[in-house]
Amino acid sequence: MSVRTEVHPPGDREDEDRPHGGRDRGVAVVVVNYASSRLLEQHLAGSELAAVAGAVYVVDNRTTSAERAGLRGLAAREGWQVLEMDGNPGFGAGMNAGVRRATADGHDVFLLLNPDAWMGAADLHALERRVRADPMALLSPRIDKADGDLWFAGADLDLRTGHATIVRDGRTPAEPWLVGTALVVHRRLWEAVGGYDDDYFLYWEDVDLCWRVRRAGGTVAVLDEARAGHAVGGTQRGGASSSPAKSPTYYYWNCRNRLLFATQHLSRRTRLRWALTTGSYAVEVLLRGGRRQLLRPWRPVSAVVRGTLAGLVLVARSLRRPARGPGPAGRVLAASGAVTPPGSAPHATPDPAPTSAPASVPAPARARLDTAP
């Protein structure tokens, strides 16, 4: 997949030298665009976040010539850099490309931002300070919906059921993960884990990233003093509708990638358990789009079925071998001794204790995360 770069540099920054060498170029904001230039114009263009960022990199996963032309014009006005992908390699691959370019330009802290999300300058600075103090931390702000209601302040992955859940009462999750809406990460951690896994294309890539961060010795955390906003579902429906309906892409990849995650990281027994419960999970994912869509059910139901079958094929193939292991940074981490190399002792996680929910998060305090896996 080749990449073409349109460079629209902002004005020069006067940065102080860092004790560790090199110049502090500020936080690089990396955004993946897929027919979302209108959202970028609404939420990022002219914002204080863009004004204080070291640079803004927009990775354009190709849709139409008109969308690309519109993005070029917006970037030229705002001083952003655009990385133009030949096709659509997916969200994770797009983020990886953007971080690579930002790294080559000398940045070492990155804000991975959705087009339908926004953040203030003080919030970005708080996240930057914390991640510079702890370069092995992957951080998210608390995230509010457009109406001001809290949307995200932490999440848990139930290894018995394969459900990703919001933690409502502030308790520590048993298997924490962060939504990919607004993540701040240091170059040291990003390179240690190898960034996003391109195999996910869309959805569950954030769960997978957090899993690998923790097993590489890093931490995942929500910084309560930092807040961001999110027009929930804006990138799924273009931000123009309040309907809960999701796209076929949403249904397919959510159902498929849950089982991809299991094949990569979990024991044989747990993979089988997730496969056996995939029917109920598929129904739950379908109902996230509301019941009105079922008046014309072919597209959503077809996507759910195809995604589920694709995931089950992955599980069936995986049962002939151990879990794949540490993901895209496997060779790097294995060489450093941080993980067990594939082909020796299995890297799969043992079966969790036989409880209906993680011990630290009582079931009544948890709620399904509607717009994430």
Q: From CA 203, how far away is CA 241, in angstroms rounded?
A: 21
Averaged pLDDT for residues 35-63: 96
pLDDT value, residue 288: 83
Residues in the chain: 373
pLDDT value, residue 324: 57
pLDDT band at 12 (very low <50, low <70, confident <90, very high): very low
pTM score of the predicted model: 0.81
pLDDT value, residue 370: 41
pLDDT value, residue 299: 84
Q: Is 249 exposed, middle or buried (0-12, 13-18, 19+ CB in 10 A)?
A: middle
Q: From CA 340, how far away is CA 303, in angstroms rounded?
A: 36
Which residue in 213, 72, 194 sits closest to 131, CA to CA? 213
pLDDT value, residue 118: 97
Which residue in 346, 373, 201, 359 sits closest to 265, CA to CA? 346
Share of the chain above pLDDT 70, in %: 75
pLDDT band at 325 (very low <50, low <70, confident <90, very high): low
160: number of Cβ within 10 Å: 17
Share of the chain above pLDDT 90, in %: 66
Model pLDDT for residues 60-95, shown as the tens digit of each residue: 999 999 999 999 999 999 999 999 999 999 999 999
Q: Which residue, chain included where needed, has tokens 């579902």?
A: 233
Instruction: Find out whether 339 and 325 touch, Cβ atoms under 8 Å.
Output: yes
Structural domains in the chain plus CATH codes: 3-237 (3.90.550.10)
pLDDT surpassing 60 at residue 130:
yes
H/E segment holding residue 48: helix 48-52
Using CA atoms, how far residue 369 sits from 156, 216, 365, in Å, is 10, 26, 13
pLDDT value, residue 232: 84
Non-local (6+) Cβ contacts of 167 within 8 A are 153, 154, 155, 156, 173, 361, 365, 366
pLDDT surpassing 90 at residue 306:
yes
pLDDT surpassing 90 at residue 331:
no
Q: Which two tokens stand for residue 79?
A: 């001083």
Q: From CA 21, how far away is CA 131, in angstroms rounded?
A: 17
Q: Which two tokens stand for residue 128?
A: 């930057």
Tell me the chain's radius of gyration from C-alpha atoms.
20
H/E segment holding residue 177: strand 176-177
pLDDT value, residue 356: 31
Model pLDDT for residues 243-294, shown as the tens digit of each residue: 567 889 999 999 999 999 999 999 999 999 999 999 999 999 888 877 777 6
pLDDT band at 16 (very low <50, low <70, confident <90, very high): very low
Q: Which two tokens stand for residue 320?
A: 């002939």
